[in-house]
Amino acid sequence: MQQSARSDGDPPDQDIVELLRGGAVERAFERLASRYEHKVYRLCCSVLRDPDQAQDAAQESLLRVWKALPKYDQRASLSTWIYTITRNRCLTAIERRRVQESLSDPAVELEVESVHASAPERDADQAAILRGLVEELPARYRTALTLYYYEERDISEVAQMLGTPEGTIKTHLHRARALLLGRLRELGLADPAQWLERLA
């Protein structure tokens, strides 16, 4: 089980802030890394959807945190600051990926798209179908939905990680579920509820 970031009465991450004040930057970073590395990696996974890229982005984010740690001014909470750095690294990775994709052959891309579109009908693996449907969701809904389950339904944590109000996250989750149900019906499943139960 991960070490808790919060204890009763104290502001979150007060222990790390105290270490920083005392000039123990390395100890503060070690504590920060063990508390946030999982969350940073999960945030990268949900945004980038590629484990290798997520690992790189998480490493780069924490490296950046290490370099900037002495300048952390407590204007935002430590977690908000770390998540902001992580989201920025993810956006940079997405931009880099977009540039690489724009350089690739359009014919090959078209072929890949057609394979993606027809995959749910051909693929026998129901879990893969569900994952495929989630992949088709708009990015903001997909990210909120995956992170919601990664973070064990903790809306406030998801909101903080994505830098979005809790109400917006709830709206995104609601719309994501509605879109998924719509797509399940479109796929012509006679009884989607039974189909989903078989995914157990």
123 binds another protein (CB under 8 A): no
157 binds another protein (CB under 8 A): yes
Q: Which is nearer to another protein, 87 or 145 (CB)?
A: 145
Which of 19, 137, 146, 161 binds another protein (CB under 8 A)? It is: 146
156 binds another protein (CB under 8 A): yes
The rounded distance, in Å, linking the Cα atoms of 3 and 18 is 17
Q: Which is nearer to another protein, 4 or 102 (CB)?
A: 4
Q: Are 183 and 133 in contact (CB under 8 A)?
A: yes
Q: Is 84 helix (H, G, I), strand (E, B) or coil?
A: helix
Neighbouring C-beta atoms of residue 155, cutoff 10 Å: 15
Residue 129: exposure state from Cβ atoms within 10 A (0-12, 13-18, ≥19) = buried
Q: Which is nearer to another protein, 62 or 87 (CB)?
A: 62
88 binds another protein (CB under 8 A): no
148 binds another protein (CB under 8 A): yes
Neighbouring C-beta atoms of residue 53, cutoff 10 Å: 18
139 binds another protein (CB under 8 A): no
Neighbouring C-beta atoms of residue 86, cutoff 10 Å: 25
Q: Is 99 helix (H, G, I), strand (E, B) or coil?
A: helix
Residue that is written with structure tokens 């407590």 in the block: 74
Range in contact with another protein (rule: CB under 8 A) among 30-38, 77-85, 96-104, 110-118: 30-38
Q: Are 35 and 44 in contact (CB under 8 A)?
A: no
Distance of closest approach, residue 94 Cβ to another protein, in angstroms: 18
Q: In terms of Cα–Cα distance, which of 163, 159, 191 is closest to 173?
A: 159
The contact set with another protein (CB under 8 A) reads 23, 25-26, 33, 37-38, 41-42, 45, 51, 54-55, 58-59, 62-63, 66-71, 127, 130-131, 134, 145-146, 148-157, 159, 166, 170, 173-174, 177, 180-181, 184, 192-194, 196-197, 199-200
